[in-house]
Amino acid sequence: MKYIHLKSLFLLTLLISSVGCKKTLEDLYQNPDGYSKDMADKSGVSVIAGFFTSQLTQGFFLSGDYGSVYHQVRSGGRVTTSGIQIYNVMAEGGSYTLADVEHDWGTGGFNESIFNFVNTQWMTSVLWAQREYNNTPQAKRTNLDSLYITLLHALKGYAYERATDMYDKVPYIETGSAGGLDGLKAKYLGQSEIYPKIINDFKVAEEALTNLTLTSTQQASFSQQDILFGGSILKWRKYINSLRLRCAMNVSEVTPALTKQVLTELQGKPLMSDFNDVAGIADIAVIALNRICNELGITRSFRERGADFTAGKKFLQDVMYCQPVEGSKVVNGKTLYYFSGDNSATGLLNGTVDPRVSYIFSPDANGRYLGVETKWDGNKDENSYLNKVLRGYYINDPILTDITKTIFYYGVNNSLSIELDAASKADLSKRESFLLNALRNRLANSEDTDGNVGTEKNLVAAYNVRPEFNFALKYPTIHAVETELSLAEAAVRGFGTLNGSAREHYKNAIILSCKYWYDLNNSNQYSKTTMPAMPGTMDDSRINAKPAMEYNASTFAENAAQKFDAMSSQQQVQAIFNQLQLHYNMLNFEVPYTAARRLIKYVGTNPASMFDKYKWKERMTYPSSVQASDPESWSIISPSNNPDLPVWFTGRTTKWKNVLE
């Protein structure tokens, strides 16, 4: 199995040794007829346990995946813009004409990946385990067999939640059925049918865990097989309940009664609540160390999409309150405005600036945390936001007033330079516009970074490589911050109050997110010489730039909560979405994308600050291969195979359109 490169010494190693060295994990998992239950019993681990652990290691399920994440960063980034692709926001990078992400390069990897996964790897282990369980006489089913099949039912529900969120109708196999292994064909069901099923499956699974008791021997075995939560039943209960809450909020626009019911039933139940409550598996747990950054890991996708990792103004300024410091100067008879810096130096210390500014982002070449907008700049306004960012580099330099100066030096240790053209060398009045346009062109063509992450030459702020390239990072398929934000939204919208007010959950989400990102940044011990290794194109100053300290998250969160108090309900829901998108950023496209689509109706517009020039996608489209391989199913799904058609849970039938549509 290509995704399994197991490093931990859990009981799966016994499975390999018990059937001989010629057998591989793929043989064991994908062809269990070659591995009998009798042999499993002799090895001390049931075949169902093997399928359970196999399920946890499936590609792009609870971990990242190079190909899928690459396309989500590239194409998904054009939909929700967690990171800014500079060449799509300024005239030097292209034209201001409507484009889409439906037919651009790599469409298949973006549109089709989750559909393909849910119909192959994500269901394989579940169905083999289910058949084995169904064929085992009830009297011979062990306590652990029942535990593993219960958890596999929950994982199956999670897989279908992701798939139906993207496509609406997907081939669904009823819980308890082994599907095609028993000759039963999956039925295409939509969100309105799937969501009640998986919400109930989560409920049944959690109740089973509540009443479960393991012996010390069983607990030891489970702890070795469970590479997700280390054998913690409590963490599994938190995970399943938090998934149930996610699903309830996803359908809140169309079935508010069901949402309220779930909120009521979750009273007193454990939910993800700690900063380290995350359902995800790190690359280093399932991929050979020497293959992580260069071949299979999510960090390869980050490295190859380096031009997409520019920081957005929305996060830095509008969400984290890192405000630019503006100055002005009269040049050639015109008053020109520029940004000389930002308020982070004092704001991080006094709690008026979000601590995550220094945990998640890296400053530009002048040490400023200044991002860019997603709106088209076009260079028609000489005092546009972007021009004020770039003008701050040279506006007070002697080159504008001293005719003998013909080379402009800037950046860290003045390591970068721009030589004036002949006209500007001879005429001081032409220098300001020349330098501005030179910097704009460098930025538009990624000449400041050469398309790499982790350089110190950035003309605008970028994502910090320390947390994103922490190879021990557990890919956050769901995190406690999301759970807190779901509870905040539920309270704002009147679906129910659970464990506190909207304000308290909003504040706590910020605190948890600050702790999570500080820990990812501060704990990164990797370098260019470790295994796995940081990319050689990164600058050491970026790799080694830990935050100066852990700033007081509670103080900032209280300040943010006070702003939250003064908002309308719609503004509060927008603020909740902003926190969700900021927290997951480059690591999890699907959750903010789903949230944005379902919130358009309530907020009144798209809560994601997407690019002006890209069409909004309402759903993913199906692989064209389905038409040839399964004409009957194609006739069911083809009427809805339209990226402009909103999915059921949005409560809309009309596509949201941006300014160019």
Query: SS3 for 329?
Result: strand
Mean pLDDT value of segment 554-571: 98
Neighbours of 517 (CB within 10 A): 26
Q: Is there a single domain that holds both residue 64 and residue 165?
A: yes
Mean pLDDT value of segment 182-195: 95
| Polymer length in residues for the chain | 661
Would you state the structure tokens that stand for residue 162, as one six-digit string?
């992701």
Q: Is there a single domain that holds both residue 320 and residue 194?
A: no
Report the alpha-carbon distance of residue 391 to residue 388 in Å, rounded.
Answer: 5
Which residue range(s) make up the domain with 525? 53-304+468-650
> Is 36 within the bounds of a domain?
no
Q: Is there a single domain that holds both residue 500 and residue 404?
A: no
**Exposed, middle or buried, 23 (CB in 10 Å: 0-12/13-18/19+)?**
middle
> What is the pLDDT confidence band of residue 103, given thresholds at 50, 70 and 90?
confident
Q: Is there a single domain that holds both residue 292 and residue 330?
A: no
Give pLDDT, residue 108: 85
Report the alpha-carbon distance of residue 462 to residue 456 in Å, rounded.
Answer: 10
Amino acid occupying residue 151: L
Give pLDDT, residue 584: 98
pLDDT, tens only, 210-263: 999 999 999 999 999 999 999 999 999 999 999 999 999 999 999 999 999 999
pLDDT, tens only, 123-142: 999 999 999 999 999 999 99
Q: Is the peptide bond before 532 cis (omega within 30 degrees of 0)?
A: yes
Residue 72 carries which DSSP code? I
Give pLDDT, residue 42: 64
Q: Is there a single domain that holds both residue 359 and residue 400?
A: yes
Neighbours of 533 (CB within 10 A): 18
- Check pLDDT > 80 for residue 45: no
586 — phi, psi (to 5°)? -75, -5
Give pLDDT, residue 578: 98
> Is 12 within the bounds of a domain?
no
Give pLDDT, residue 41: 63
Mean pLDDT of the chain: 92
Contact in structure between 386 and 312 (CB atoms under 8 Å): no
Contact in structure between 638 and 76 (CB atoms under 8 Å): no
Give pLDDT, residue 36: 52
From 460, 481, 505, the end of a domain falls on 460
Q: Is there a single domain that holds both residue 374 and residue 503?
A: no
Mean pLDDT value of segment 194-204: 98
Report the alpha-carbon distance of residue 310 to residue 460 in Å, rounded.
Answer: 7
Would you state the structure tokens that stand for residue 362, as one six-digit string?
């890296």
16 — phi, psi (to 5°)? -70, -50
Nearest to 112 by CA among 480, 498, 642, 623: 623
Query: SS3 for 345?
Result: helix
Report the alpha-carbon distance of residue 453 to residue 103 in Å, rounded.
Answer: 27
Would you state the structure tokens that stand for residue 131, as one six-digit string?
């058949």
Contact in structure between 359 and 518 (CB atoms under 8 Å): yes
Would you state the structure tokens that stand for residue 342, as one six-digit string?
């930002």
User: Which of 19-28, 356-365, 536-545 is the least confident region?
Assistant: 19-28
> Is 19 within the bounds of a domain?
no
> Is 48 within the bounds of a domain?
no
Nearest to 329 by CA among 400, 257, 381: 400
Give pLDDT, residue 19: 28
Give pLDDT, residue 249: 98
pLDDT, tens only, 505-532: 999 999 999 999 999 999 999 999 999 9
From 438, 460, 482, the end of a domain falls on 460
Residue 76 carries which DSSP code? I
Amino acid occupying residue 77: G
Q: Is there a single domain that holds both residue 480 and residue 582?
A: yes
- Check pLDDT > 70 for residue 14: no
> Is 114 within the bounds of a domain?
yes
Amino acid occupying residue 116: N
Percent pLDDT > 90 in the chain is 89
Mean pLDDT value of segment 103-129: 92
Query: SS3 for 420?
Result: coil
pLDDT, tens only, 574-605: 999 999 999 999 999 999 999 999 999 999 99
| Number of separate domains in the chain | 2
Residue 143 sits in a domain of what CATH number?
Answer: 1.25.40.390
Give pLDDT, residue 38: 62
Q: Is there a single domain that holds both residue 368 and residue 491?
A: no
Report the alpha-carbon distance of residue 537 to residue 451 in Å, rounded.
Answer: 10
Neighbours of 584 (CB within 10 A): 23
Q: Is there a single domain that holds both residue 213 and residue 338?
A: no
Ramachandran area for residue 175 (φ above 0: left; ψ -120 to 50: alpha; else beta): beta
Q: Beta 278-279 vs 187-189: how paired, if at all? A: unpaired
Give pLDDT, residue 7: 36
Concatenate the DSSP letters of all residues of 137-171 into one string: -GGG--HHHHHHHHHHHHHHHHHHHHHHHHHS-EE
Amino acid occupying residue 99: A
> Is 269 within the bounds of a domain?
yes
Q: Is there a single domain that holds both residue 504 and residue 447?
A: no
Report the alpha-carbon distance of residue 598 to residue 594 in Å, rounded.
Answer: 6
The DSSP bridge partners found for residue 329 are 336
- Check pLDDT > 60 for residue 34: no
Contact in structure between 467 and 360 (CB atoms under 8 Å): yes
Q: Is there a single domain that holds both residue 296 and residue 315?
A: no
> Is 35 within the bounds of a domain?
no
The DSSP bridge partners found for residue 418 are 408
Mean pLDDT value of segment 349-371: 97
Neighbours of 142 (CB within 10 A): 15
Cα end-to-end distance, the chain, whole Å: 44
Would you state the structure tokens that stand for residue 300, as one six-digit string?
């390869």
> What is the pLDDT confidence band of residue 107, given thresholds at 50, 70 and 90?
confident
Amino acid occupying residue 301: S
Contact in structure between 154 and 170 (CB atoms under 8 Å): no
Contact in structure between 251 and 244 (CB atoms under 8 Å): no
Query: SS3 for 550?
Result: coil
Q: Is there a single domain that holds both residue 124 and residue 155?
A: yes
What b/e readout covers 569-578, taking b as 16+ CB neighbours within 10 angstroms? Answer: ebebbbbbbb
Would you state the structure tokens that stand for residue 301, as one six-digit string?
């996708």
The DSSP bridge partners found for residue 319 are none
From 422, 438, 460, the end of a domain falls on 460
Neighbours of 487 (CB within 10 A): 31
> Is 15 within the bounds of a domain?
no
Report the alpha-carbon distance of residue 188 to residue 385 in Å, rounded.
Answer: 49
pTM given for the model: 0.94
